[in-house]
Amino acid sequence: MGNPAILTVDDDPSVSRAIARDLRRRYGEHYRILRASSAAEALEALRELKLRGGRMAVMLADYRMPQMNGIEFLEQAMDLFPNARRALLTAYADTDAAIQAINLVDVDHYLLKPWDPPEEKLYPVLDALLDAWQATGDREVEDIRVVGHRWSEPSYQLRDFLARNLVPYRWLAADEPEGRRLLDAAGVGPESIPLVVTADGRALPQPSTTEVAEAAGLSTAPGRDFYDLIIVGGGPAGLGAAVYGASEGLKTLLVERRAVGGQAGQSSRIENYLGFPDGISGAQLTDRARRQAGKFSAEVLTTREVTGLRLDGSARTLTFADGGAVSAHSIVLATGVAYRPLAADGVAALTGSGVYYGSAATEGPACAGSDVYIVGGANSAGQAALFFSRYARRVSLLVRGDSLESSMSYYLIQQLGRTPNIEVRTGCEVIGAHGNGHLEAITICENKGASEATVECGALFIFIGAEPRTDWLGETVARDERGFVYTGPDLLAGGARPKGWDRDRDPFYLECSVPGIFAAGDVRANSVKRVASAVGEGAMAVTLVHRYLEAQ
């Protein structure tokens, strides 16, 4: 098929020539450099490339072009080459407009003009985009096909699993012609949904997440029996520990029960993370972190649920739900937190059928034209409200407290206020969910029970509370009354070391009540619930792991 292509489109001839020149200088040996002077010309070039079976790696589009601006062009170009990486070229004066537009379209980066010197301002960005494209290759979104029903909870869980693990797939409704055709070809009926058809044509009716993970090429089994470091949990803290552990030469394994990225991976746009002035989606941040960990040879397992921890002399052993086990010199607990169930009539029965925990971004297009309600007042709820406002007729953010100021970042509060189809309602609680087979309405209690109202509801997304999943630790590791793990100074209440502590030193700052076991991120008692602090704690934990291992 020849070399893959890099496309640049800019209506300014001098800029177009300059960027094409700089691209050829650096990438001309391995990539075809294509340039166009308008969005229409670029789309025609893309169609011709598609017909000839060519590959598109990166597309660079000027933001301000006549007839069709760069964002509009990239939206159409994505239909032709969905896996190509996308960047926007913009002048300094257009930065704010570009950032707002980027928040509406999944653009990977933006570049300010001029970019001199290219060695500092252009090539590092292009190198990262090309690395990302090479990691995914030219896999079509139809590699894995999923046949299901929108209101089927197993169908939703499967789609959510694939999306959160960044696995390309194509969704087909079971009651549409192509969906029925695949069911017939697999020799099963609608009662067997969800049906997964793999790239090589295998049919998997009602598969487990482990079966789907294996079909998608995700790793589900450890490569060895013993490691220097095992990390439990694949959120920001776990990924931070994996990157630093593996990059510093430790044989590192990360174990994740569902999807790498954790709650942060579900965020539609994180705008206060250092180094990303235009914001970054949780999925993009997760993708970069996972590839970075892989670059340093960290192993990442998915669909493996840890159910126990035991001490075997100097080794620390984790047991899995399937009976397997794996051991290491040290362990970092980075399991984060889960959203607390909403205790309201009808919610449990409709979960996965209109009621969802977390942002459930796969449901965005299905919310078009409907009224969406979001329960919660923290950053994750605000980010979800902004995301669903792109699709829904109206988004209502239901907050139990009297205001958002104590629980949500200022920049998010400002954005919510500027979005016309978002309504923030304080002093509200959902006390009931209603529907026949799927959510149709909810009952809202306002003003501390003074009034109730039942309203139509297309989807309900819940972001309340934070519960650590640490019951599997039993009595092995000290935890507080809510299950958060005590570490470092918190273990020295009254000046005494933890019961059973066998070292002639105090626990390190992130070390648990058992030497060699550390906790990082949201699962740690008294931690700061922010992505940046979780990543920092993951990195710090590895430094303390080294100190622990050196003293062994």
DSSP tag of 216: T
pLDDT digits (tens, 9 = 90+) for 57-72: 999 998 888 888 888 8
- Taking residues 513-534, report their average pLDDT: 94
pLDDT at 72: 85
> In the numeric block, which tokens belong to residue 95?
């930065």
Check: CB of residue 541 under 8 Å from CB of residue 520: yes
480-487 — which CB contacts under 8 Å span 24+ positions? 480/525, 484/523, 484/524, 484/525, 484/526, 484/527, 485/333, 485/512, 485/519, 485/523, 485/524, 485/525, 486/512, 486/513, 486/525, 487/511, 487/512, 487/518, 487/519, 487/524, 487/525
- What gap in Å lies between CA 27 and CA 25, rounded to an integer? 6
- What are the pLDDT digits (tens) for 365-389? 889 999 999 999 999 999 999 999 9
Average pLDDT of span 393-411: 93
Of 391, 378, 399, nearest to 531 (Cα)? 378
Are residues 256 and 233 in contact, defined by beta-carbon separation less than 8 angstroms?
yes
Respond yes or no on whether the N-terminal peptide bond of residue 468 is cis (omega within 30° of 0): no
Sign of the C-alpha dihedral computed for residues 298, 215, 157 and 474 taken in this order: negative
Alpha helices in 142-235 (DSSP H): 153-164, 177-186, 209-215
Query: The pTM is what?
Result: 0.78
- Do 240 and 536 form a contact (C-beta atoms < 8 A)? yes
Say if residue 301's pLDDT is above 90: yes
Give the pLDDT band (50/70/90) at residue 140: very low
- The reported pLDDT for the residue numbered 411 is 92
Contact call for residues 234 and 261 (beta carbons, < 8 A)? yes
- Predicted local confidence at residue 105, as pLDDT: 60
Q: How far apart are CA 302 and CA 257, in angstroms?
A: 6
Residue in the structure block whose two tokens are 């299950």: 483
CA angle 84, 87, 93 (to 5 degrees): 165
**109-113, 333-337, 366-370, 424-428, range with the lowest pLDDT:** 109-113
Residues forming a β-bridge with 91 = 113
The dihedral sign for the CA sequence 160, 166, 172, 174: negative
Q: What is the full DSSP assignment across 476-529?
A: SS-B-TTSPBP-GGGGGGGGPPPTT--SSSPPPTTB-SSTTEEE-GGGBTT---
For residue 459, list its beta bridge partners.
372
pLDDT digits (tens, 9 = 90+) for 176-185: 998 998 999 8
Rg (CA), the chain: 25
**How many Å apart are CA 134 and CA 269, to the nearest integer?**
24
pLDDT of residue 97: 58
Supply angle C-alpha 150, 154, 160, rounded to 5.
75
Across 80-94, 216-230, 317-331, 475-489, least confident range: 80-94
Task: Determine the pLDDT at residue 100.
Answer: 58
**316: which strand partners?**
311, 328
CA-based end-to-end distance of the chain: 55
pLDDT digits over 11-38, tens only? Answer: 888 888 889 999 999 999 999 999 999 9
**d(C-alpha 205, C-alpha 196), whole Å:** 6
Which alpha helices (DSSP H) does 144-176 contain, by range?
A: 153-164
Q: What average pLDDT does the chain have?
A: 90
Quick one: pLDDT at residue 219?
Answer: 93
Decide if pLDDT at 441 tops 80: yes
The confidence band for 141, taking pLDDT boundaries of 50, 70 and 90, is: very low
Span 249-288, pLDDT tens digits? 999 999 999 889 988 888 877 888 888 776 787 888 888 8
Question: Which pLDDT score, from 0 to 100, does residue 32 have?
Answer: 94
Among 118, 98, 120, residue whose Cα is nearest residue 110: 98
pLDDT reported for residue 8: 93
Per DSSP, what are the bridge partners of residue 25? none
Looking at residue 192, the DSSP 8-state letter turns out to be G
User: Is a pLDDT exceeding 60 seen at residue 147?
Assistant: yes
What one-letter code names the amino acid at 486?
Y
Query: Residue 2: exposed, middle, or buried by beta-carbon count in 10 A (0-12, 13-18, 19+)?
Result: exposed
Domains in the chain, start-ordered, CATH in brackets?
A: 5-136 (3.40.50.2300), 145-215 (3.40.30.10), 226-338+467-550 (3.50.50.60), 347-462 (3.50.50.60)
